[in-house]
């Protein structure tokens, strides 16, 4: 019997969480599972699904409650959640009635309203928690408790994330995976040649990269401060930003036009660009924006840096760098040591500019150390984070849930 799995993600912008979700959906055994991916808004992830041969659709359900270590609680999203709650309940109920899934795989903690509907419709929920939803606050504790109450099973992407959730019996820890065939160091020279050409680099510069949307929490501004120190000693080093700011078209919205009129930076990327201009570092930073295929960019890097000031669940960038034998400098925060181990990265103090610059300088100065860290990372990726192992673990959870539900149905007859 083929089981129908309804995957739901909040929004459709490019990011680690939706990419991980569609990679999972596309990798499921088609003899056992029929995945349908639903996004709550339009965005580039729709095209990615089409390229992967996945059935996908958009059902606009705007009652989301995004909150966590990277997203503080504010009045606007709360008001939006309240206003959109009933319309979202109606749409979610109709979606479930039409699709008739065997179970629903929710991909973000923000979908609490849809979780309520699924529970009311008696459709089992497998809730994939990829972010730190409970940063030690009352609201975070309530949200984590609600998720565990509504879900049939919870998948946490790291032990760190699992420790933020209350119901231990429902939780399975399954780390995010990396495709070790695509993120393979054998392609590094080819990728470097491609990216050098794209960036207009003719010299054998050392290239240090950071992945993800430009945010203070991801450490872009800490990195900029560290580069002020690094650039004095190594002016030839180039820093690559793979990520962006506000979505396309934001400048044409009412809010965007208002900011433009007042000459206020549109987003964090604009703020970073302004800061880099003020400290005369624009020339050493290259920003290529969001990319659907990050492998060439990761493979071109001599070092990947992840100077987060707040914890993430299980950052894909760390896994991708490890798999590509790229040495990593990462903030010693959240699950970073859990993911990297002690021998695959250099760790810096979160938010400490001097600590970050010293760790980067140490690797800039030593090709031997870069190679040692890179080799250790590749070995760790192969042993712990292969896609095949990830899919097997998820499918085992699906099978366990299906068997459990079937056995309960038999007992109730």
Give the CA distances from residue 16 to residues 138, 291, 294, in Å, rounded to whole numbers and listed in that order. 27, 11, 11
- Is the predicted pLDDT of residue 410 greater than 90, yes or no? no
Tokens 């295929």 correspond to: 293
Q: Which of 184-188, 263-267, 312-316, 345-349 has the lowest mean pLDDT?
A: 263-267
Three-class secondary structure of residue 253 per DSSP: coil
pLDDT in tens, 264-286: 777 889 899 999 999 999 999 99
Cβ proximity of 373 and 363 under 8 Å = yes
- Is the predicted pLDDT of residue 412 greater than 60, yes or no? no
pLDDT band at 139 (very low <50, low <70, confident <90, very high): very high
pLDDT in tens, 68-121: 988 888 898 899 999 999 999 999 999 999 999 999 999 999 999 999 999 999
Three-class secondary structure of residue 167 per DSSP: coil
pLDDT band at 257 (very low <50, low <70, confident <90, very high): confident
pLDDT band at 254 (very low <50, low <70, confident <90, very high): low
Percentage with pLDDT > 70 across the chain: 96
- Is the predicted pLDDT of residue 408 greater than 70, yes or no? no
pLDDT in tens, 147-164: 999 999 999 999 999 999
Buried b (16+ CB within 10 A) or exposed e, 114-146: bbbbbbeeebbbbbbbbbbbbbeeeebbebbeb
Q: What is the pLDDT of residue 258?
A: 66
- Is the predicted pLDDT of residue 130 greater than 80, yes or no? yes
Q: What is the pLDDT of residue 413?
A: 46
- What tokens were used for 293? 């295929």
What backbone torsions phi and psi does residue 173 show, to the nearest 5 degrees? -95, 120
Q: What is the pLDDT of residue 256?
A: 72
Global confidence as pTM:
0.92
Q: What is the pLDDT of residue 189?
A: 96
pLDDT band at 141 (very low <50, low <70, confident <90, very high): very high
Q: Which of 55-59, 201-205, 246-250, 408-412 has the lowest mean pLDDT?
A: 408-412
CA-based end-to-end distance of the chain: 20
Give the Cα separation of 4 and 170 in Å (integer): 21
pLDDT band at 292 (very low <50, low <70, confident <90, very high): confident
pLDDT band at 382 (very low <50, low <70, confident <90, very high): very high
Cβ proximity of 397 and 126 under 8 Å = yes
Strand partners, 345: 328
- Is the predicted pLDDT of residue 170 greater than 60, yes or no? yes
Q: What is the pLDDT of residue 248?
A: 66
Q: How many CA atoms lie within 13 A of 18 on its CB side?
A: 24
Q: What is the pLDDT of residue 250?
A: 67
Taking 3-state DSSP, the helix, strand and coil percentages for the chain, each rounded to the nearest 5, stand at 50, 15, 35
- What tokens were used for 303? 């070092």
Q: Going from the N-terminus, what domains does the chain have, and what CATH number goes with each? A: 3-177+386-405 (3.40.50.2000), 185-384 (3.40.50.2000)
pLDDT band at 411 (very low <50, low <70, confident <90, very high): very low
What is the 8-class DSSP label of residue 356?
H
Give the Cα separation of 46 and 25 in Å (integer): 13
Average pLDDT over residues 326-333: 98
pLDDT in tens, 185-234: 999 999 999 999 999 998 888 999 999 999 999 999 999 999 999 999 99
Three-class secondary structure of residue 345 per DSSP: strand
Q: How many CA atoms lie within 13 A of 157 on its CB side?
A: 28
Average pLDDT over residues 34-38: 98
Strand partners, 38: 8, 57
Q: What is the pLDDT of residue 355?
A: 98
- What tokens were used for 353? 């500019």
- What tokens were used for 123? 């459709």
């Amino acid at each position: 019997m083929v089981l129908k799995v309804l995957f739901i993600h909040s929004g459709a912008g490019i990011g680690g969480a939706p990419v991980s979700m569609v990679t999972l959906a596309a990798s499921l055994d088609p003899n056992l599972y029929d995945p349908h991916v639903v996004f709550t808004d339009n965005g580039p992830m729709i095209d990615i699904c089409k390229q992967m041969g996945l059935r996908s659709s958009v059902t606009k359900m705007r009652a989301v409650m995004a909150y966590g270590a990277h997203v503080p609680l504010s009045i606007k999203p709360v008001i939006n959640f309240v206003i959109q709650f009933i319309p979202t309940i109606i749409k979610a109920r109709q979606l479930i009635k039409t699709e008739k899934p065997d179970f629903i795989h929710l991909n973000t903690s923000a979908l609490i309203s849809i979780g309520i509907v699924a529970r009311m419709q008696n459709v089992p929920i497998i809730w994939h928690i990829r972010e730190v939803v409970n940063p030690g606050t009352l609201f975070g504790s309530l949200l984590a408790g609600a998720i565990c109450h509504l879900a049939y099973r919870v998948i946490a992407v790291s032990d760190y994330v699992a420790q933020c959730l209350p119901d231990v019996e429902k939780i399975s820890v399954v780390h995010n995976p990396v495709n070790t065939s695509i993120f393979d160091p054998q392609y590094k020279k080819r990728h470097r040649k491609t990216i050098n050409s794209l960036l207009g680099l003719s010299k054998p510069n050392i290239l240090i990269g950071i992945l993800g949307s430009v945010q203070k929490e991801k450490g872009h501004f800490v990195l900029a401060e560290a580069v002020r120190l690094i650039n004095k000693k190594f002016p030839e080093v180039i820093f690559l930003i793979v990520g962006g700011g506000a979505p396309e078209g934001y400048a044409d919205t009412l809010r965007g036009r208002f900011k433009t009129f007042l000459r206020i930076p549109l987003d964090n990327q604009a703020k970073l660009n302004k800061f880099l201009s003020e400290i005369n570092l624009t020339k050493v930073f290259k920003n290529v924006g969001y990319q659907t295929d990050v492998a060439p960019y990761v493979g071109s890097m001599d070092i990947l840096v992840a100077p987060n000031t707040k914890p993430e669940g299980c950052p894909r960038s760390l896994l991708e760098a490890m798999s590509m034998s790229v040495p990593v400098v990462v903030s010693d925060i959240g699950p970073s040591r859990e993911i990297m181990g002690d021998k695959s990265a250099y760790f810096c103090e979160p938010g400490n500019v001097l600590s970050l610059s010293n760790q980067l300088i140490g690797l800039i100065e030593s090709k031997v150390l870069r190679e040692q860290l890179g080799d250790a990372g590749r070995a760790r990726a192969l042993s712990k984070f292969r896609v095949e192992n990830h899919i097997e673990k998820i499918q085992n959870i699906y099978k366990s849930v299906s068997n459990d539900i079937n056995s309960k149905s038999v007992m109730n007859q």
